[in-house]
Amino acid sequence: MTEKLTISKSLYKAWREHPRLGWWYVRDRERYDWIQAQDGNSVAGAGTGETVEQQVQKLFAGRSMMEIEARPSEWALARKQTQQAIEQGVEVIVQAVLHWEDLLCITDLLVLDHEGRYDLVEVKSKSNIRKDTKAEPVLPELIDDLSFQRLILTRMLGDRFSGRCRLAYVNKNYIFSGELDPLTLILEEDITDDLTPSEEVLQLLKQLRKDVTISNEEFLNTYTYDGCKHTWWYGALPPEDSVWTIPRMSKKLVPVIHTGRTGLAELNHDDLRILGEKQQAFVHCWRQGTETINRETIHSILERLPRPWIFYDYETIQSPIPLLHGTRPNQQVVVQWSMHVQEEEGGAIRHYEDIIQPGEISNERVIRSLAELVHSLGQTGTFFVWHQSFENTRNKEIAIDYPDLADIYVGINERTFDLEKIFTDLLWFDRRFQGSTSIKTILPVLTDVSYDDLNIRKGDIAAGLLRQVVQGDLPTGQDDQIIKDLLAYCERDTWAMVKVIEVIIKKML
């Protein structure tokens, strides 16, 4: 590396999550961005945090406020503006840019206290800053975030920095009723005592500088694979016959990997004993051949599922700032559904659907239309989903939000069968699944159906467009086409289940 290194907060947090992430951040930003996208952390969602920040700023209405134009091409000007704002005693400085030695940070808010010193206020779109309860420690990534900023503020502001570091985040129990109230929407907590001491941060930064500047060969010699959640952090995607295709592979297998035994065919008896029961079963199926089907068990399961068979799927939106009446921050709000119904084996398959429309302020119509349909189908039958925890959780939430519909939505859960379980339980195994039980992986292997012919092919794209529908932000003149594309995507999700079970039944004959 010949380019001078600037350590931003983003780089520090990436390196703290895993040294390899920090290495990619500096050495191959395209690869880093790709990894973030796989993890659901792509930059596309960054704007939601800004909306929360606007609500936090309203808490300081009436106080002098200055927002710094924090553009990478104008860091020098932004640092100068920040210094001027501090010298002038501006009460609330938004997006202050501070640079100390090779460290750079942009703070969300610097807020002047009654003694003329600045507190740091970091704004998050999260509803929880701890894993579970108040008794749990603050999330590590938040500790790293504010500890890094505190170090720079201490060095740059000296006595003008109070040392206090606060987190502002959204109240998960807040219910939107048409007009946002920042006083009840935003929660705030002083986490100064939870932060990493600055001297310790300085030592960590020394190691970071070393890690991100060494060659790839040196890095791999220093940090051998440790079982981290993404094997591709360490190189190319693993081959189809490797141990990394084992679902939920145990970290206990890492020492075996270090011996060079990474192929499924290479694992010996002692290696297999390290694995859990399901992981052992996966390896056993793989060794048996390309395809393994437990016809007897599958037939027994399907035989017990009463008709009609009802295949359904939800699409949702999620936002830290609630967008629809009666919803909460970061709630997965159902705004679209698709359903295929088959009354009897070999019978006609009917399709039903609904989607929220531009201008609607609530999802109530969509929720009630599904309830009416389910009621009309009667008290018997089986509801098929793929990965039931998602739909089941939404149904429980709907039962709370719409108590008059509770019996219907609880009843759906009681009659639900998770079609994915046939594959997660290895009742149907195929090497071509590559250890995945995603319907988007299984569908093209078993059928001639896929998502490739659709304009929308991924759930996150659908969710983003549905959010635009709700906010009235669809591109001019494209409203009708986007609604059609969204309906087609959700319909494909339920039709995919229909086609998969058709193949399963055919194999049972």
Domain chopping of the chain, boundaries: 46-196, 238-288, 298-508
Check residue 44 and give its pLDDT: 40
Beta carbons of 176 and 41 less than 8 angstroms apart: no
Of 285, 17, 246, the C-alpha closest to 140 is 17
Check residue 252 and give its pLDDT: 76
Check residue 289 and give its pLDDT: 83
Check residue 276 and give its pLDDT: 87
Q: Is the peptide bond before 137 cis (omega within 30 degrees of 0)?
A: no
Answering whether pTM is above 0.85, one says yes
Beta carbons of 205 and 7 less than 8 angstroms apart: yes
Check residue 93 and give its pLDDT: 98
Check residue 231 and give its pLDDT: 57
Check residue 469 and give its pLDDT: 96
The C-alpha atoms of residue 383 and residue 413 are separated, in whole angstroms, by 8
Q: pLDDT tens digit string along 250-306?
A: 677 888 887 888 888 889 888 888 888 888 889 888 988 889 999 999 999 999 999
The C-alpha atoms of residue 293 and residue 274 are separated, in whole angstroms, by 25
Check residue 47 and give its pLDDT: 43
Residues 6 or more apart in contact with residue 127 via CB below 8 angstroms = 169, 170, 171, 172, 320, 329, 330
Beta carbons of 283 and 246 less than 8 angstroms apart: yes
Check residue 9 and give its pLDDT: 97
User: Which residues of the chain carry a pLDDT beneath 70?
Assistant: 1-2, 39-50, 228-238, 250
Q: Does domain 46-196 have CATH number 3.40.1350?
A: yes
CATH class of 298-508: alpha beta
Residues 6 or more apart in contact with residue 257 via CB below 8 angstroms = 225, 243
Tokens of 148: 């890094």
Of 420, 311, 323, the C-alpha closest to 374 is 311
